[in-house]
Structure 1
Amino acid sequence: MHITRRKALQLLAATAPALALRRSLAATLPIAAGPFQGTRESLAAYRIPAWFADAKFGIWSHWGPQSGVEDGDWYARNMYIQGSAQYNYHVETYGHPSKVGYKDLVPQFKAARWDPEHLMDLYVKAGAKYFFSMGVHHDNFDMWNSKYQPRWNAKAIGPKRDIVGEWKVAARKRGLRFGVSEHLSNSFDWLAPAHTSDSTGPLAGVPYDGVLPAYKDLYHDYSGEPANFAKTAEAMGRVAPDWWKQQYFNRIKDLVDQHQPDLLYTDGGIPFDEYGLSLVANLYNLSAAKHGGKVEAVYNSKTTTDCATGTCALDRERGVLDDISPVPWQTDTCIGEWHYKRGVRYKTAKKVIDLLVDIVSKNGNLLLNFPLPNSGELDFEEMVTLNGITAWMAVNSEGIYATRPWKIYGEGPSTKVVIRSNGQEFDPNEGKKPDLTASDVRFTTKGDALYAFVQGWPEGAATIAALGTSSPQNPAKITSASMLGYDGHLKFTQDADALRVTLPSNRPTTADIGITLKLTTA
């Protein structure tokens, strides 16, 4: 039976000597002193802080040199894949990747009109309680003044500014929690196509610029890898030599040590065993030292098993859990593509709020990316979406912040539809499903208040079956009803089959997005 390199590594990792080596490695990796060590057993004692459960809404700037090209996601990889749309665009716009490569595009990322103070004011006004800066994407370019990537970082080339540092100052000045995302753990495999060549055409067999020794600090050094590694490496494979794992550890530790984030997001599960586990422990120990022994930091992993017992907060990329989670979690998504793409169609404010209320009703948070172009300014259509979110949150956010789930998350046609991909909650149709309507209701609670988000303006009364006296949820008696943004109480009846609330005659300007009923109970 043929055993692949990946399988061989997995078999090796399962042996007792390898486990002993891991424990030894965890003990020697330099991390901040504190209550946690870089082992799963130690990190299982972690608990998600209350502020994260209260915050509910964050905004993310997934921004870097690939955004400078303004042609969408994964450009630094796909430009080296012959026949892909981005390869074709690159050849037509810049030239063949054997002659003009990603190294030549990085300096064109200028951020010439980027104003983090102005943008943060907009995001605070829109209701964000935390903000994420991308720290480093798969492209191996660090967005801070990086100690271990001195040539390819935003302070050294391109904008020549510490992007992470300036975002941090702007966020903290306004009382927001600050996070950084890292996608570096996949980089060694992800950039493999830069080491290949065209397979057909006049330049077939001519290597792309990724093979140039002078640029191995950007494209990686494959000299110790099998001859066919560049052709067989999987984009998110995380099959890498120990020297790369150590560099990964050094760079992400440098990011966290320099900027002391409240949140650290990794693109996948906790990577590279004790290297990744030690980074999580370092984050938590720094937080404990900063907050009098209390860990206020959050690490986001996309792997359910990582977060099953303490350790971290689960993140779902472009996906939503099916039901209420007993612990806080997060959806990360984008109004368009992750990296800026000219002409893309964005999510509407209605689509974003539909997602937000659904996620919050299930004990989750929404982290929403607004992709910035090369200039660093939001474009007109992005401002339309942001302004719509701002208007709705100004009226309805009382039912969002510091709330907890009710007995069920909601009712209506949308609760009957579950779309899965490969058994995961990741939803390939996220953002493409029909908007929620007045028949779709989501619930949250805070104190003695029950909030019912009705995701449209009903014709006649707002009808909520789950609050009927004979409902399986056995709801308490409703004693008053009001609508956020409306000054006064509303008439209602609570019968066996439903609660019916008579709405005011003047329709709110944000009613098409949704309204929020505030109900009190006996």
Structure 2
Amino acid sequence: MGPRGLVAELLLLLALGAAKSGPSAPLRRYTPDWPSLDSRPLPAWFDEAKFGVFVHWGVFSVPAWGSEWFWWHWKGTKLPQYQSFMKENYPPGFSYGDFGPQFTARFFHPDSWADLFKAAGAKYVVLTTKHHEGFTNWPSPVSWNWNSQDVGPHRDLVGELEAAVRKRNIRYGLYHSLLEWFHPLYLLDKKNGFKTQHFVHAKTMPELYDLVNRYKPDLIWSDGEWESPDTYWNSTGFLSWLYNDSPVKDTVVVNDRWGQNCSCHHGGYYNCQDKFKPETLPDHKWEMCTSIDKLSWGYRRNMVITDVADESTIISELVQTVSLGGNYLLNIGPTKDGLIVPIFQERLLAVGKWLSVSGEAIYASKPWRVQFEKNTTTVWYTSKGSAVYAIFLSWPKHGILSLKSPKSSSTTQVTMLGVQNNLKWSKDPDESLLVYLPQLPPSALPVQFAWTLKLTGVK
């Protein structure tokens, strides 16, 4: 073998070595079927984030009455109370399209929103780019005269919020409804038993590809899938492109609403259903989405204070969700002008204040071997490295907290997040860990409810 042959052989061996060792190895390709797509590992950022803010905003924010399903309740199921509302408040012949110009977003200041979300401790924000009404909050080229650039605000709302959120190192997610209640092409496909895909080719898919290429989202929160299977929506084709060739292929996270057969079975993480709350630790990453207004996702002018979830309920749900391995996505509905009403601001800031003390037990935590125990107070556990966190929701009698699950050792130390000194502890006859809580007046405690103990040297 001559020198050229030796060089060629050496180059071949080097190439083979590089292929085995990593960086230049060909990346795995995902095929457009669920076994392949479901095998994709979930990008780590999502599990570490734990808490996000959901924003439902659109033309439904103009009537701002009943719920964001206003158009459907008025013209779809024709509920009498919606018929009466329109009759009493709007002239005859007023159409849903007439609400469009009134969706002004006049006081929408994306930086103010993003500051609020950061102060709330949110690690990701999910904005409705398009709800089931079909109005797009960006200049979609396939939603002529029914988008925020042509009608109403005359602004790219999705793009403006993206810039503000990313400036603050918050991940940006886009909610997108696959269906549109009254789109003629969707109604035609529905009439054809979803054997045709006129709507998918003309509207759904062009919009999804446009959103990804234009805004490079960290998350796609799909919805509106329930009337037809994923094969109608071409979901697996889109997701294989998303995971293989899109500009966000390595970082993007998706949920499970990609067809009536997918929820809780296929996709990225599982939503399962709105306000999903499992009783035990699921074996798949999941998210609980819920709303501060218990009766609606969009803003309602007729909301009353008893419809609003209180601070302790929200924080308890966050704790429970994270303890069971989930993420907590908390929704607010801004007004048609782009204002976030004070009660929603107050609730978000309360979560942020609690997380500023207790976030160590939440962000990037993992479920512990025991998730919760009930004795005199409910205790939820999380863990991080060798530390175990016990979050108790109410203060125990006599200031002594009994923990059955952690096994103490000679190196066990107990502290309360937000309080400097170590706490005293002992073992009772049945081996429970008795923790003597700090004797402080309520005003001096670091938080008002859901206090967190950090345990080290326990099993």
TM-score range, shorter chain: 0.7 to 0.9
1:517 to 446, 453, 456: 453
Offset of residue 153 of structure 1: 0.7
Structure 1 residues 383 and 462: CA distance shift in structure 2, 3 A? farther
Q: Percent identity?
A: 29
Offset of residue 498 of structure 1: 2.3
Name the residue aligned to 2:240.
Answer: 281
1:466 aligns with 2:404: yes
Q: Is the 8 A contact 2:127 2:175 kept in 1?
A: yes
The code of the aligned residue for 1:114 comes to F
In 2, the alpha carbon distance for the partners of 1:509 and 1:153 equals 49
Q: Is the 8 A contact 2:399 2:439 kept in 1?
A: no
Name the residue aligned to 1:84.
Answer: 80
In 2, the alpha carbon distance for the partners of 1:87 and 1:240 equals 34
Q: Is the 8 A contact 1:482 1:488 kept in 2?
A: yes
Name the residue aligned to 1:441.
Answer: 379
Structure 1 residues 222 and 389: CA distance shift in structure 2, 3 A? closer
Name the residue aligned to 1:154.
Answer: 148
Name the residue aligned to 2:314.
Answer: 352
1:298 aligns with 2:253: yes
The code of the aligned residue for 1:153 comes to N
1:484 aligns with 2:417: yes
Q: Is the 8 A contact 1:330 1:364 kept in 2?
A: yes
User: Structure 1: which 5+ residue stretches go unaligned?
Assistant: 1-32, 192-218, 414-437, 470-474
2:107 to 110, 113, 120: 113
The code of the aligned residue for 1:181 comes to Y
Name the residue aligned to 2:179.
Answer: 186
- 1:270-349 alignment runs, 5 A limit: 271-273=230-232, 275-286=234-245, 289=247, 295-302=250-257, 306=262, 311-316=267-272, 317-336=274-293, 337-344=296-303, 345-349=307-311
In 1, the alpha carbon distance for the partners of 2:159 and 2:245 equals 18
Q: Please give the per-residue CA displacement for 1:299-329, whole angstroms capped at 9, x wherever unaligned.
A: 1014897487874111141121221123321
Offset of residue 456 of structure 1: 2.1
The code of the aligned residue for 2:206 comes to N
Offset of residue 441 of structure 1: 0.9
Name the residue aligned to 1:388.
Answer: 350
Q: Please give the per-residue CA displacement for 1:100-133, whole angstroms capped at 9, x wherever unaligned.
A: 1111111111111111111111111111001111
SS of the equivalent of 1:372 reads coil
1:46 aligns with 2:2: no
Name the residue aligned to 1:11.
Answer: none
SS of the equivalent of 1:403 reads coil
What is the TM-score with the length of structure 2 in the denominator? Answer: 0.83
Q: Is the 8 A contact 1:409 1:442 kept in 2?
A: yes
Offset of residue 342 of structure 1: 1.7
SS of the equivalent of 2:107 reads coil
Offset of residue 181 of structure 1: 0.6
Q: Is the 8 A contact 1:245 1:272 kept in 2?
A: no
Structure 1 residues 168 and 225: CA distance shift in structure 2, 3 A? closer
The code of the aligned residue for 1:514 comes to A
In 2, the alpha carbon distance for the partners of 1:243 and 1:499 equals 64
Q: Please give the per-residue CA displacement for 1:179-230, whole angstroms capped at 9, x wherever unaligned.
A: 10111x232xx33xxxxxxxxxxxxxxxxxxxxxxxxxxx42578579xx6x
What is the TM-score with the length of structure 1 in the denominator? Answer: 0.74
SS of the equivalent of 1:265 reads strand
In 2, the alpha carbon distance for the partners of 1:268 and 1:280 equals 16
**266-275 vs 47-56, which moves further:** 266-275
Q: Is the 8 A contact 1:38 1:274 kept in 2?
A: no
Offset of residue 350 of structure 1: 1.2
SS of the equivalent of 1:330 reads strand
The code of the aligned residue for 1:459 comes to K
In 2, the alpha carbon distance for the partners of 1:165 and 1:222 equals 27
Q: Is the 8 A contact 2:405 2:432 kept in 1?
A: yes
Structure 1 residues 403 and 268: CA distance shift in structure 2, 3 A? farther
**150-159 vs 323-332, which moves further:** 323-332
**294-303 vs 333-342, which moves further:** 294-303
In 2, the alpha carbon distance for the partners of 1:69 and 1:379 equals 16
- 1:397-416 alignment runs, 5 A limit: 397-412=359-374
In 2, the alpha carbon distance for the partners of 1:163 and 1:129 equals 20
Offset of residue 58 of structure 1: 0.6
Alignment RMSD, CA only?
2.7
Offset of residue 366 of structure 1: 0.6
In 2, the alpha carbon distance for the partners of 1:513 and 1:54 equals 23
Q: Is the 8 A contact 2:271 2:289 kept in 1?
A: yes
In 2, the alpha carbon distance for the partners of 1:373 and 1:240 equals 39
Q: Is the 8 A contact 2:423 2:438 kept in 1?
A: yes
Offset of residue 141 of structure 1: 0.8
Name the residue aligned to 2:11.
Answer: none
Give aligned pairs, total: 416
2:328 to 354, 366, 376: 366
Structure 1 residues 452 and 104: CA distance shift in structure 2, 3 A? same
1:94 to 90, 93, 107: 90
SS of the equivalent of 1:256 reads helix
SS of the equivalent of 2:143 reads coil
Structure 1 residues 278 and 467: CA distance shift in structure 2, 3 A? same
Offset of residue 462 of structure 1: 4.3
